[in-house]
Chains A and B, each alone.
Chain A
Amino acid sequence: MTEIFGVPTQALFGQLLVGLINGSFYAVLSLGLAIIFGLLNIINFAHGALYMMGAFLAWIGLTYFGINYWLALVLAPLAVGIFGMLLERLMLKRLYHLDHLYGLLLTFGLALIIEGLFRYFYGISGQPYTVPEALGGAWNLGFMFLPKYRGWVIAISLVVCLATWFVIERTKLGAYLRAGTENPKLLQAFGVNVPLLITLTYGYGVALAAFAGVLAAPVFSVNPVMGSNLIIVVFAVVVIGGMGSILGSIVTGLGLGLVEGVTRVYYPEASAVVVFVIMVIVLLVRPAGLFGREK
């Protein structure tokens, strides 16, 4: 068997694959955070809880109503997106005239409520979610086996991220969004319904989180704390990428997933900390983040 720096290629590629999968989740989640932060100027602390909610809705759908994976992939984000829009209309809207920190605190409270409720009803042990039939098995790539489902997660995450990037950077709707982040009042004066734009944006960002949750359901076990463990790393990704930067969140998300994977091969003890170490280094060199602009 061939080796790279004393590690069998099989193991290295295996960890790189795990890293790439984690990276896909980081990318989709931090993309949602970036969009929400861009327009609402709120760090959505409930993001992890809503990601967990997406996974749970998929599991509940399958277990109690026989809703299959493909349908859940559409329905769960839709449901969570609508839930998010309600939250925005009923609560977040009241905070825009205040210090941005209140948004963070409110969403933190919401995260506690959502997580607590799921823990009350389903306990903290994980629920299994089977891989859909069409994506069972694995491809033999010659140097390693790639489970089909994992390949699918990476591919669809990339497609969703790039599509979102395209809409925001290249279309008229995206232009409105970007104008809204620069100067909402002026945009309103041009006759654009800015409050609606904000509600929809929050809904979309939250739906992205739920989408990642459904994707994650067959990979990890579905449990109420799956979001709160992941979200802090995603926050670090957002800080490294430059808060609010669309491209930054996608690239950094995938990149850091890979870095984590490589670290797990060569120095496993550091794999949980490596993202934060990188964050410190980036902050020292570029306080605004890799892709961020200095405000």
Chain B
Amino acid sequence: MKRDYVIMLVLLAALIVAPMFVYPVFLMKLLCFALFACAFNLLLGYTGLLSFGHAAFFGGAAYVTGHAVRNLGFTPELGLLAGMATAAMLGFVVGSLAIRRAGIYFAMITLALAQMIYFLALQFRFTGGEDGLQGVPRGHLFGIIDLSQINTMYFFVLVVFCIGFWIIYRAIHSPFGQVLKAIRENEPRAISLGYDVDKYKLVAFVLSAALSGLAGSTKTLVFQLASLTDVHWHMSGEVVLMTLLGGMGTVFGPIAGAAIVVGLQNYASGLGEWVTVITGAIFVLCVLAFRRGVVGELAALFRKPGSR
């Protein structure tokens, strides 16, 4: 626990000074995806549920925020809340349907339902179809603080990320989180102990969906754009990769995973289609050889022999 706080403080300090050295828009993208991956990890890493449709929450919220801010004149913070609320509601519907089945079935159902959202995004008028929602204004926070300033925007995104991360961290280390881990480790035993397992799973699902939505909404404000890429199933795959690569079921793993994947996409974009091939190869390699992920392997390395 104590070590976690030290890492968090170091990370926070690094993120505060980072825009002096790194392009802030890249950092903001990284923070959005890191939050997305952390929210996803709450489900996969701590509850043992593999959702293959998290793009629906990320992208669904992105569209709602874009629409609310651009067309309905919402302030940024209300836009984020609207996106989050939408994602939570979607999460409730998808979650209620999906938790009726376990394991691979669960993954397939979330994937298919997310694909439904994708087609709806393609059909609805307000989403702009193939073009997406472009030119979403960043607006004024609380009607006062101008977010079009890039550094102001960065610190706003950083605060949003910290709030999201803190919620996840507290959830994991609460009695609620302990029950989730119990479900992950041995579901029949959790049931026999008298826990209403389905209810816990659903709450975890909704929480994860809402925070994924927060990440998607923030992304819309950063790039002033919501598009079909956000709801496409490739996005669902990407967040799985980030979590797996960083280390699922670890606190900081998804952040590391998101940093590696986003960094790869940004700095290797000149390689064109090879990025897809490399991403796939990393996936295969992770599954075959490094199932604990970067952070998981590091933690295992530094753990004193015999302390497990």
A109 touches B109 (CB 8 A): no
Does the CB pair B111–A232 fall under 8 Å? yes
A112 is an interface residue with CB less than 8 A from chain B: yes
| Contact status B50-A112, CB under 8 Å | no
Q: Which of A100-108, A132-140, A158-166, A203-211 contacts B (4 or more CB under 8 A)?
A: A100-108
Is there an interface contact between A273 and B291, defined as CB atoms closer than 8 Å? no
Q: Given A232-B233, A272-B119, A277-B116, are A109 and B108 neighbors across the interface (CB < 8 Å)?
A: no
Residues of A within 8 A of B101 (CB): 283, 287
- Cβ contact within 8 Å between A100 and B240: no
B237 within 8 A of A: yes
How many Å from the CB of A42 to the closest CB on chain B?
8
Contact of A110 among B103, B275, B280 (CB under 8 A): B280
Contact B276 A116 (CB under 8 A): yes
Q: Chain B contacts of A232 at CB under 8 A?
A: 111-112, 115, 233
Q: A109-B281, A116-B280, A276-B113 are in contact. Are A243 and B287 (CB under 8 A)?
A: no
- Decide yes or no: A106 and B108 within 8 Å by CB, A120-B277, A287-B100 being known contacts: no
Q: Mark A271-292, 1 if CB is under 8 A from B, else 0.
A: 0110011011001100100000
Closest to B122 in A: A272
Residues on the B chain within 8 Å of A280, using CB: 97, 113, 116
Contact between A43 and B104 (Cβ–Cβ < 8 Å)? yes
Q: A101-B107, A235-B108, A239-B105 are in contact. Are A109 and B97 (CB under 8 A)?
A: no
Task: Mark contacts of B104-133 with chain A using CB atoms, 8 A cut-off: 1 yes-contact digit, 0 otherwise.
Answer: 110111011101100110110000000000
B244: interface (CB < 8 Å): yes
**Which residues 89-144 in A have Cβ within 8 Å of B in the complex?**
91, 94-95, 98-102, 104-106, 108-117, 119-120
Q: Give B19 Cβ to nearest chain A Cβ, in Å.
A: 32
In the complex the two chains form, is B113's CB within 8 Å of A105's CB? no
Q: What's the Cα separation between A157 and B20 when bound, in Å? A: 62
Task: Give min CB distance, B244 to chain A, whole Å.
Answer: 7
Interface of chain B residues 182 through 234 with chain A (CB within 8 A): 233
Confirm or deny: A238 has a beta carbon within 8 angstroms of a beta carbon on chain B: yes
A236 near B112 (CB under 8 angstroms)?
yes
Interface residues on A, range: 35 or more
Q: Which residues of A are found within 8 Å of B100, using beta-carbon distances?
A: 283, 287
Which residues does chain A contribute within 8 Å of B120, judged by CB atoms? 273
Task: Report Cα–Cα, A110/B203, bound state, in Å.
Answer: 33
Partner of B277, one of A112, A233, A235, A236: A112
Report the Cα distance A283→B119, complex, angstroms. Answer: 20
A104–B107 touching, CB < 8 Å: yes
B282 to chain A minimum Cβ distance, whole angstroms, is 8
A-contact bits for B234-262, CB 8 A (1 contact / 0 none): 00010010001000000000000000000
Question: What B residues does A43 contact at CB under 8 A?
Answer: 104, 107-108
Residues of B contacting A287 in the complex (Cβ-Cβ under 8 angstroms)? 100-101
- Complex Cα–Cα for A284 and B100 (A): 9
User: How near does chain B come to A284, taking the closest CB pair, in angstroms?
Assistant: 7
CB <8 Å contact, B283 and A106: yes
C-alpha spacing A143/B94, complex, angstroms: 44
A250 → chain B, closest Cβ, in Å?
18
Residues of chain B contacted by A110 (CB below 8 angstroms): 280, 284
List A contacts of B275 (CB < 8 A).
Answer: 116
Asked whether any CB of chain B lies closer than 8 Å to the CB of A3, the reply is no
* Chain A residues whose CB sits within 8 angstroms of the CB of B272 once the complex forms: 120
Q: Please name all residues of chain A whose beta carbon is closer than 8 Å to the beta carbon of B1 when the two chains form the complex.
A: none
Contacts of B244 in A (CB 8 A): 105
Docked pose: A78 CA to B244 CA in angstroms: 34
B50 & A104 in contact (Cβ 8 Å cutoff): yes
Cα separation A287 to B106 with both chains bound (whole Å): 11
Known: A113-B277, A273-B119. A106 touches B284 (CB 8 A): yes
A109 near B280 with CB under 8 A, answer yes
23 CB-based A-B contacts, threshold 8 Å? A43-B104, A101-B103, A102-B287, A104-B52, A104-B104, A105-B286, A109-B284, A109-B286, A109-B287, A112-B237, A113-B284, A116-B274, A116-B275, A117-B273, A119-B276, A120-B273, A120-B277, A232-B112, A232-B233, A235-B108, A243-B108, A280-B97, A283-B109
- Known: A105-B286, A239-B105; 15 extra A-B contacts, CB below 8 A, are A98-B291, A104-B50, A113-B277, A114-B280, A115-B280, A116-B273, A119-B273, A120-B274, A232-B115, A235-B112, A236-B112, A238-B108, A239-B112, A276-B116, A279-B109
B→A interface (CB under 8 Å):
50, 52, 97, 100-101, 103-105, 107-109, 111-113, 115-116, 119-120, 122-123, 233, 237, 240, 244, 272-277, 279-284, 286-288, 291
